[in-house]
A = this chain, B = another copy of it.
Amino acid sequence: MKQKGMKSFSLSIVLIICLLIYTPLIADEGMWTFDNLPLKLLKEKYGFEPSQEWIEHVRLSCVRINDGGSGSFVSPNGLVMTNQHVMRGQLQKLSTPENDYVKNGFYANSPADELKCPDVELNVLVSMDNVSEQVHNAAKNLNDQEGLKARAAEISKIQKESFDSTGLRSDVITLYQGGEYWLYRYKKYTDIRLVFAAEQQIAFYGGYLDNFTYPRYELDMALVRVYENGKPIESKHFLKWNSKGAVEGELVFVVGNPGSTDRMMTMAQLETQREIVLPMILKSIKRRLNVLKNYAASGSEQARQVVAAIAGTENGLKSITGEYNGLLDKDLMKQKQDDENKFRTAVNANAEWKKTYGSAWNDIAKAQKKYEEYFKIQRFRSVPNGSMANMALRLVRYASELTKADADRMNGYHDAQLESFKRSLQSTAPVYPELDEKLLINAFEESLELLGPKDLFVKTILNGRTPAEAASEIVNGTKLNDRDFRKSLIEGGPAAIDASNDPMLVFARKIDPILRESGTSFRDQIASVEVASGEKIGKARFAVYGKSMYPDATFTLRFAFGTVKGYPSNGTLAAPITTYYGLYDRALGFGLKEPFHLPARYMERKDKLDLSTPSNFATTCDIIGGNSGSPVINRNGEVVGLIHDGNMEGLVGNFIYNDETGRAVSDHSAGMIMALRKLYDADRIANELEGK
């Protein structure tokens, strides 16, 4: 009797594991790397078998846009399609008080009118090499802290060697939490010219309110052209345009660069996110948003200066709120707990796996106990991103890091990264000292509140003064708002930077050692354990599930698939597709009030449009922030849409894929081409897209 009982038990374990392995294969789930596409699943579920040629063509047609988005070549002449919101920062940097390209949009009537973007970089993934063995071997037999350093040095070495030998941007990508390391080589483009951008009012229709929702009616579209040597490149690989576009139930693909996901987090890590990290971040974002809005309220020019920053911050707020709500969802957390229990049971059922990987979850859980203390230090000993204080800090670090061997440098200062570094600091984008000061005061106040007056960083930045006094002094004395000054420092190199008495640089020199030390403490106490244990868990996943899993997103090229599909929403169904009728319904339903008003051309030219033309559509494709601007393509590899958002229900996608109600939201190719021709008189470009 007992024997039999044992047997059934083992059998049920096997069954559970089989079910586990099979489950992900049913849903349209996954942000797959191009070395491991779900070909078997696509064949079985959809009868689709892409050729190697198809796969390579698609990969080489897609680009990463280093402002945080994706795009694709859509003509043989270097034309790239992406979102207006991906290009919004560039549009703003190109704008002046007289000429607001964010508000008014942009269209280049002729090639000569195409407008050079100040500081955006496009990358095409040209090769992928598995360097896991090299990186893993580097850390063999070392403890966690030593291993972390050794891996970083090895990665830096691989990158440098690749860059030196190929001249290509060379990034080692950590996949499966360190379960694999890959060397990705990119062809890099930096002469990017603006061809078309829709007005903010239609590109971000409904503003913050409609963001992350569906049904939607945006034309979140921008087109840029890649130049080299002053001429458009010949883009051999580009996606053909399909003007009919996607229809309900159609199998489609999204190829782009999802930024990051945390789907492999352990329960202990998720709880830390829910209890400590996200509430703290949400509070911090709200503070910053408040500062930006007060600034915008002080004048129309001020409002223009921060429109992109406000939109971006609100976007972040809604997005993180969605994630946070996901973590508060008891059903979701139970599902994650069940998954973890099953996974750990499977690991512990194998003696070898148990010995090698079994302790990882508890090690991570132990590290979480110190998380709050070190997270606060890491997060709130800082200066605002994009501020002059941040520029100063980067200059100071550049000066000191350049004196070291490449392998010993901080991330961001390796030889292969210096070109991007220099370009971003020499950006022609205007700096607004008044705004910079307000954001710095807010940051100083926040540090004081959260770390207390006795904190070393706080004592250093304030030195007996109020946050306002401290910020005012360095902002008002600096010349870092002057691009030429920054350029001269970079060109002058470490010597010039070290010699400068600019108060912002003096300030940066004071805080740099404190920030380095703070980063180290978080790394040593928390990150090293999470990385080392994460690697174990990643390897355990391989052991249990093989490569039937996809890795967490890493802002590298991924392949997703799904169908055009509505979903249960608001007590009924959301339609798979919206039309231009819906745009006018929403605008008029609100009496054309902001943020639901329409650009003038949409009112004047309404009768020229076929309003039954699709505007946006929803798909089950597995995407996340960073996928913005990704093409949606059909079985023929043709463009049928343009990803611009996900819905609220999909925001939990950071932690778990939700195909019941989560959806990727796209512009529809039929609506895009109609708008170009009928609303924007952009036949030059519409013809180029349609190959006419």
Chain A residues within CB distance 8 Å of chain B: 206, 209-210, 212-213, 215, 247-248, 318, 566, 569-573, 575-579, 581-582, 584-586, 588-591, 596, 611-612, 647-648
In the complex, are the beta carbons of B611 and A571 less than 8 A apart? Answer: no
Residues on B with C-beta less than 8 A from A569 are 570
In the complex, are the beta carbons of B213 and A571 less than 8 A apart? Answer: yes
Kindly state the separation between the CA atoms of A573 and B576 in the bound complex, as whole angstroms. Answer: 20
In the complex, are the beta carbons of A585 and B582 less than 8 A apart? Answer: yes
- Taking the full assembly, how many copies of this chain does it contain? 2
In the complex, are the beta carbons of A581 and B584 less than 8 A apart? Answer: yes
In the complex, are the beta carbons of B576 and A585 less than 8 A apart? Answer: no
Q: Nearest-CB distance from A618 to chain B (Å)?
A: 10
Kindly state the separation between the CA atoms of A588 and B613 in the bound complex, as whole angstroms. Answer: 9
Task: Choose from B210, B575, B577 the contact partner of A572 (Cβ within 8 Å).
Answer: B210
Q: Nearest-CB distance from A608 to chain B (Å)?
A: 15
Q: Nearest-CB distance from A583 to chain B (Å)?
A: 8
Residue of B nearest to A612 (CB): B588
Max count, chain B CB within 10 A of own CB: residue among A206, A566, A570: A570
Residues on B with C-beta less than 8 A from A648 are 570-571
Residues on B with C-beta less than 8 A from A213 are 570-572
Give the top 9 A-B pairs by smallest Cβ distance, nearest first: A575-B589, A582-B585, A581-B585, A571-B648, A213-B571, A209-B572, A581-B584, A581-B581, A213-B572
Kindly state the separation between the CA atoms of A209 and B212 in the bound complex, as whole angstroms. Answer: 23
In the complex, are the beta carbons of B576 and A611 less than 8 A apart? Answer: no
Residues on B with C-beta less than 8 A from A572 are 206, 209-210, 213
Q: Nearest-CB distance from A422 to chain B (Å)?
A: 41
Kindly state the separation between the CA atoms of A573 and B578 in the bound complex, as whole angstroms. Answer: 17
Q: Nearest-CB distance from A660 to chain B (Å)?
A: 16
In the complex, are the beta carbons of B612 and A590 less than 8 A apart? Answer: no
Max count, chain B CB within 10 A of own CB: residue among A577, A578, A589: A589
Residues on B with C-beta less than 8 A from A318 are 571
Kindly state the separation between the CA atoms of A312 and B668 in the bound complex, as whole angstroms. Answer: 38
Kindly state the separation between the CA atoms of A173 and B612 in the bound complex, as whole angstroms. Answer: 53
In the complex, are the beta carbons of A589 and B576 less than 8 A apart? Answer: yes
In the complex, are the beta carbons of B575 and A590 less than 8 A apart? Answer: yes
Residues on B with C-beta less than 8 A from A566 are 589-590
6 example contacts (A-B, Cβ-Cβ < 8 A) are as follows: A210-B572, A213-B571, A248-B590, A577-B591, A581-B585, A582-B586
Kindly state the separation between the CA atoms of A647 and B612 in the bound complex, as whole angstroms. Answer: 27
Q: Nearest-CB distance from A201 to chain B (Å)?
A: 16
Max count, chain B CB within 10 A of own CB: residue among A248, A586, A648: A586
Known: A569-B570, A570-B213, A581-B581. A586 touches B590 (CB 8 A): no
Starting from the known contacts A570-B570, A577-B591, A579-B585, 5 additional A-B residue pairs (CB-CB under 8 Å) come to: A209-B573, A573-B590, A577-B588, A581-B588, A584-B611
Q: Nearest-CB distance from A125 to chain B (Å)?
A: 34
Residues on B with C-beta less than 8 A from A575 are 585-586, 589-590, 596
